[in-house]
């Protein structure tokens, strides 16, 4: 606290889409906060699948957002806009941002920041916003999951998957999750999942049917899409809800609409980055009131995989693409 703000900062940018090797270090002016914004001296930044897709050229930053990747950061507020309510100067926060996280300084809407609770490291704090906002909105708002219901989560050891398991259990759901190895299934069970399915050696449709006595689950959180969708619908109970948040397995799906009608299924999906500032503010308020106390008391903490220096962001992206990680990958930024 009290360090002067320099005129320039180091950031990790890219000249053209490509593999992890396209990242390069660049020197940029330190941005100045607008009326509703704060400037965060970044200690850590989270690495997420949308960052990888942006680097590959398939997920450009929305209008007005920084072209530098990075959707979540944690650090110290060192400047704030005139319209920000209260004095946030010097506070340690984590924030959901629309871009710019892979840098020593990052702008954030003040209403999209959450205070770092005591006992939570800044590395852990940087691993929270993207996954927590995504899971809360899609599982508990779009799919309106309720205590006593059953949730199927694909990609159970991803950042999203681990958060969905923990939040689901914290709010009284029975959670089934899939993963691609025995070690990953063990990690899922250690997080509290009621059933872990190795999708490489087991048919998850049959495993879900057996576990639920043929009734199916109430909610599917799907990051795969493609040919998983038709199989997911077979896993759903009557009035079940299917939420798509990524399309790693393909953009298109062929489904049995008679099954949708017969079971009265709901199919929905969302992306978070391009949503309005007002929407994200409302979402942040809900999380602050309902989920953040669980972070503060230790019930929910991010599963941490590995930390890389900012300059090694290419290695961080390579680890994510290889799929061996369990939980969140974060970058330690030089400004920390």
DSSP symbols for 227-247: THHHHHHHHEEEEEEEEE---
Strands 217-222 and 150-153: parallel
Give domain status of residue 94, yes or no: yes
> Per the structure, how many domains does the chain have?
2
Give the per-residue pLDDT at 335: 47
Looking at the structure, do residues 105 and 189 belong to the same domain, yes or no? Answer: no
Q: Which of 245, 269, 293 is the last residue of a domain?
A: 269
**Cα separation values, 172 from 165, 190, 233, Å:** 11, 17, 23
At 223, give phi and psi (nearest 5°).
-110, 0
Give domain status of residue 225, yes or no: yes
Strands 266-269 and 236-244: parallel
Give domain status of residue 112, yes or no: yes
Looking at the structure, do residues 264 and 199 belong to the same domain, yes or no? Answer: yes
| CATH code for the domain in which residue 244 is found | 3.40.50.720
Give the per-residue pLDDT at 15: 87
Looking at the structure, do residues 264 and 282 belong to the same domain, yes or no? Answer: no
Strands 113-115 and 92-96: antiparallel
Looking at the structure, do residues 95 and 22 belong to the same domain, yes or no? Answer: yes
Give the per-residue pLDDT at 2: 59
Give the per-residue pLDDT at 255: 96
Looking at the structure, do residues 116 and 165 belong to the same domain, yes or no? Answer: no
Give the per-residue pLDDT at 225: 95
Looking at the structure, do residues 249 and 321 belong to the same domain, yes or no? Answer: no
Give domain status of residue 207, yes or no: yes
Looking at the structure, do residues 97 and 141 belong to the same domain, yes or no? Answer: no
Give the per-residue pLDDT at 3: 77
Q: Which of 269, 287, 302 is the last residue of a domain?
A: 269
Nearest to 30 by CA among 69, 1, 4: 4
Give the per-residue pLDDT at 8: 98
Nearest to 160 by CA among 188, 195, 186: 188
Its domain, for residue 81, covers 8-128+273-332
Sign, Cα dihedral of 123, 129, 131, 132? positive
Whether the Cβ atoms of residue 242 and residue 236 lie closer than 8 Å to each other = yes
The tens place of each residue's pLDDT in the chain, 336 residues long, gives 457 899 999 999 998 999 999 999 999 999 999 999 999 999 999 999 999 999 999 999 999 999 999 999 999 999 999 999 999 999 999 999 999 999 999 999 999 999 999 999 999 999 999 999 999 999 999 999 999 999 999 999 999 999 999 999 999 999 999 999 999 999 999 999 999 999 999 999 999 999 999 999 999 999 999 999 999 999 999 999 999 999 999 999 999 999 999 999 999 999 999 899 999 999 999 999 999 999 999 999 999 999 999 999 999 999 999 999 999 999 999 644
- Contact residues for 234 (Cβ-Cβ < 8 A; gap 6+): 205, 209, 216, 259
Whether the Cβ atoms of residue 3 and residue 41 lie closer than 8 Å to each other = yes
Looking at the structure, do residues 136 and 264 belong to the same domain, yes or no? Answer: yes
Give domain status of residue 88, yes or no: yes
Looking at the structure, do residues 118 and 146 belong to the same domain, yes or no? Answer: no
Q: Which of 242, 269, 296 is the last residue of a domain?
A: 269
Give domain status of residue 1, yes or no: no
Give the per-residue pLDDT at 87: 94
| CATH code for the domain in which residue 278 is found | 3.90.180.10
Q: How far apart are CA 89 and CA 79, in angstroms?
A: 6
Looking at the structure, do residues 106 and 168 belong to the same domain, yes or no? Answer: no
Q: How far apart are CA 48 and CA 322, in angstroms?
A: 13
Q: How far apart are CA 298 and CA 219, in angstroms?
A: 26
Looking at the structure, do residues 73 and 191 belong to the same domain, yes or no? Answer: no
Give domain status of residue 41, yes or no: yes
Give domain status of residue 65, yes or no: yes
Looking at the structure, do residues 173 and 283 belong to the same domain, yes or no? Answer: no
């Amino acid at each position: 606290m009290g360090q002067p703000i320099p005129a320039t900062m180091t950031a990790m940018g890219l000249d053209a889409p490509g593999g992890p090797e396209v990242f390069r270090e660049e020197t940029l002016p330190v941005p100045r906060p607008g009326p509703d914004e704060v400037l965060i001296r970044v200690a850590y930044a989270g690495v997420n699948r949308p960052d990888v897709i942006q680097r590959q050229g398939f997920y450009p930053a929305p209008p007005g957002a920084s072209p530098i990747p990075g959707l979540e950061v944690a650090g110290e507020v060192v400047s704030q806009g005139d319209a920000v309510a209260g004095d946030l100067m010097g506070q340690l926060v984590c924030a959901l941002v629309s871009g710019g996280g892979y840098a020593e300084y990052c702008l954030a809407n003040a209403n999209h920041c959450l205070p770092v609770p005591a006992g939570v490291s800044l590395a852990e704090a940087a691993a929270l916003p993207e996954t927590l906002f995504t899971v809360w909105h899609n599982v508990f708002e779009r799919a309106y999951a309720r205590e006593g219901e059953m949730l199927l989560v694909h990609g159970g050891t991803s950042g999203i998957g681990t958060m969905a398991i923990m939040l689901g259990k914290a709010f009284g759901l029975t959670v089934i999750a899939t993963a691609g190895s025995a070690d990953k299934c063990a990690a899922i069970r250690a997080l509290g999942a009621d059933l872990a399915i190795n999708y490489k050696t087991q048919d998850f449709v049959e495993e879900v049917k057996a576990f639920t006595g043929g009734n199916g689950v109430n909610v599917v959180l799907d990051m795969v899409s493609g040919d998983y969708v038709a199989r997911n619908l077979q896993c759903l109970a009557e009035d079940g809800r299917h939420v798509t948040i990524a399309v790693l397995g393909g953009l298109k799906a062929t489904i049995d609409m008679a099954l949708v009608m017969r079971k009265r299924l709901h199919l929905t999906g969302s992306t978070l980055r391009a949503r309005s500032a007002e929407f994200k503010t409302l979402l942040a308020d809900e999380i602050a009131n309902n989920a953040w106390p669980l972070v503060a008391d230790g019930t929910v903490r991010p599963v941490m995989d590995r930390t890389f220096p900012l300059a090694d962001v290419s290695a961080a992206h390579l680890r994510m693409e290889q799929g061996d990680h369990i939980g969140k990958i974060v970058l330690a930024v030089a400004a920390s």
